[in-house]
Structure 1
């Protein structure tokens, strides 16, 4: 099936409008829906129908795959020599490093390219050239159960000390997970990054060099181990065994006092009748200077030579009405400044406003590094050991740092 998806009319390099009379563009995209009813295929089918109605010379075929499969599908297609024209997936760096992608300024019009939120543009760059186009974004906030907080006479925390004190009070009231700390393999790299940022550092320093074992990061995990996990404030499931999906599900059952969450948790919690509030993530001495942002990526492959047609289609994809339609369907944040302004001004989007306010200072994964995928996988496997009984935060972060530095050096020598 993958090879069939990648087969394309041999019209490489076609230029004028007359030459594009029978071009077929193929896009492979990820599914953001959780059922057939809200599958991303519906979003793309509607968008493509509208585009094709105004562009009779271009057909666009979109194949949507679950997140568990889509990155692998694209990798297989590219390896088989049948790259799609476009892919909307989780990472772009490997393809950019191999020279397989168009530069963004070779496909998008200047107004559309300039409209991306600046930190998302930066995250889409490799060696100061943009190859990744942000497609969807989210940020994180601290969710808290208002009912449980009210019963314990608490207010939402602004500092780590207050968070620990609130967790102790919640535990005394019998709350199952005072603070849910999902460091299981599903998405441990996200919870880790949120805490590293909360402690004043992150995965990389200001010039993009891995700094996983910095003193600030070690201090952060020392605190988590000693003040939360070690004092039994993270619940009956060890952080190593707690995945994000399970933590979210426990929150919707009213079993969690606090956790770090993204916009999709709002809908599921509300549907279960959980009364919740959201505040910026606490920092050591006050609200964290930065929160975590996540973006997914659109990229354009050079293989089929359809750069002009791809650019025209993507200009349409990034029109405000389409960006906002996607954001509304899946409780995600717009990736363009104009759509963000429109969302901020719309009273119907008030529930997303706190997440939107965090976006300008959000820090993203170092996705411009080809080594990041391996480093992220290492974090998922290893980081929970740092807070386990007898675990050493300095030791675990140190070993992760060595592996990251080695992988980064190898990637740069191949580049």
Structure 2
């Protein structure tokens, strides 16, 4: 869910030796990088945490390899396909591995207090056929970020509806703003921007019973509106939405070139570092604030291949301690996945900027993570959704193609 800018080579370190048993064990973890530079790479977080754990369990070594979001899911897949999965992986999707019987159940690993501390809707999203395999790791929601300076110069106020958003974008364009509204439908994270707009249009990726509805009438209307009212009128900037990645859109906002865009908490720090004065409001919908915003969570999972269930579980209990969850969330401006850390953050003055996101999380709608087909459907969306708003593009045809593939995958999933 939360993308970064560059691939990091595999970096590992080894600590001491010993643990909950008598023999030495090395646990291998592959994790995603949430940093935006070498200075705040997640490798540093995991190295500190692993050293702390090893000092308490001297016969266990924690070997961590951190990769960018561009690479990490592929790296884990390659390891699994080669028959040598890591003991743990912190990546974007779990369901396919769970469906193949490769993962431990969450309740085989975690203590009861740790399991009970997870936010309910996140634990449910980690279930395949009512059994939890995916352990939520980090969460975020979306709000509309806007550049206060550019808005003041254009004499406009933050929008609450799509029509107001289009009107504001027109005013920003008249002032020479490079990207009045940045619409990142490029391959990096197009599924996120897409889902936010679908929710604003009154639909989503699935219906209330979880069946794919990519080509619903509301979704078709949503992308037709985007094509005609924003992209077709030159209100989304010089880069075609289908080629604009989220990281580039965020960087442009932090450089003062974007009037408004949908963003998650990490954009706050990025913009503040560059001195951009920004505001945040709920993402507009067709006729007002949507009934739910988009929530994203990433996943921790443990592979059964090499055993070590008890030691993996003990380490994960440590990872999900209140202190460690808070430390990670604060380091990367993300939302905690546990109730204890969420309550602490809600009460802390230092986390005041995250409260708009925290307030949205309980009602946020997540990707259909529990469907084994989601990983492929998400990849298809990343590749094709930008065509809906391209010159000569046909939103109906693109959404129909995506729905056909989704329906086929869903049928195979149910048959399996």
> Given the two structures, how large is their TM-score scaled by the length of structure 1?
0.92
Correspondence for 1:380 among 374, 379, 382: 382
| C-alpha distance 185-77 of structure 1, shift in aligned 2 (>3 A) | closer
Q: Counterpart of 1:396?
A: 398
Q: Is the 8 A contact 1:21 1:56 kept in 2?
A: no
Are 1:128 and 2:130 matched, yes or no?
yes
C-alpha deviation, 1:270, in angstroms: 1.3
Which of 26, 36, 39 does residue 38 from structure 2 map onto? 36
Q: Distance in 1 between matches of 2:227 and 2:74?
A: 36
Tell me the equivalent position of 1:163: 165
* Residues 14-413 of structure 1 aligned to structure 2 (within 5 Å): 19-413=21-415
Which consecutive residues of structure 2, in runs of 5 or more, have no partner in the other structure?
Answer: 1-8, 13-18
Give 1:9's aligned residue: none
Kept after mapping to 2: 8 A contact 1:141/1:280: yes
* Structure 1 residue 143: Cα displacement: 0.5
CA distance in 1, matches of 2:377, 2:68: 23
Q: Which shifted more, 330-339 or 390-399? A: 390-399
Q: Report the CA distance shift for 1:250/1:38 in structure 2 as closer, same or farther (over 3 A).
A: closer
Aligned 8 A contact 1:89 1:297 in 2: yes
**Inter-partner Cα distance in structure 2 for 1:73 and 1:236:** 33
TM-score norm. by structure 2 comes to 0.92
Question: How big is the shift at 1:57?
Answer: 3.7
**Aligned equivalents of 2:77, 2:185: Cα separation in 1:** 28
Distance in 2 (CA, whole Å) between partners of 1:348 and 1:147 is 25
Partner Cα separation in structure 2 for residue 63 and residue 242 of structure 1: 29
- Kept in 1: contact 2:215–2:396 (CA 8 A): yes
Aligned equivalents of 1:252, 1:136: Cα separation in 2: 23
C-alpha separation in 2, matches of 1:366 and 1:20:
42
Asked if the contact 1:199–1:217 (Cα under 8 Å) also holds between the matched residues in 2, the reply is yes
Which 4+ residue blocks in structure 1 deviate beyond 3 angstroms?
none
Equivalent position SS for 1:283: coil
How far the C-alpha of 1:193 sits from its partner, in A, is 0.7
Runs of 5+ in structure 1 lacking a partner?
6-15
Q: How many residues align?
A: 400
Contact 1:158 1:283 in 2 (8 A): yes
What is the CA–CA distance in structure 2 between the aligned matches of 1:20 and 1:58, rounded to whole Å? 10
Whole-Å Cα distance in 1 between the matches of residues 235 and 77 of structure 2?
42
Structure 2 SS opposite 1:73:
helix
CA RMSD of aligned residues (A): 1.8
Task: Describe the SS at the equivalent of 1:278.
Answer: strand
CA distance, structure 2, for counterparts of residue 21 and residue 329 of structure 1: 34
* CA shift for structure 1 position 20: 4.6
In structure 2, what is the Cα distance between the partners aligned to 1:224 and 1:108? 45
- 365 and 46 in structure 1: CA distance in 2 versus 1, 3 angstrom threshold: same
Q: Secondary structure at the match of 1:364?
A: coil
SS at match of 1:326: helix
Contact kept? 2:70, 2:188, Cα under 8 Å: no
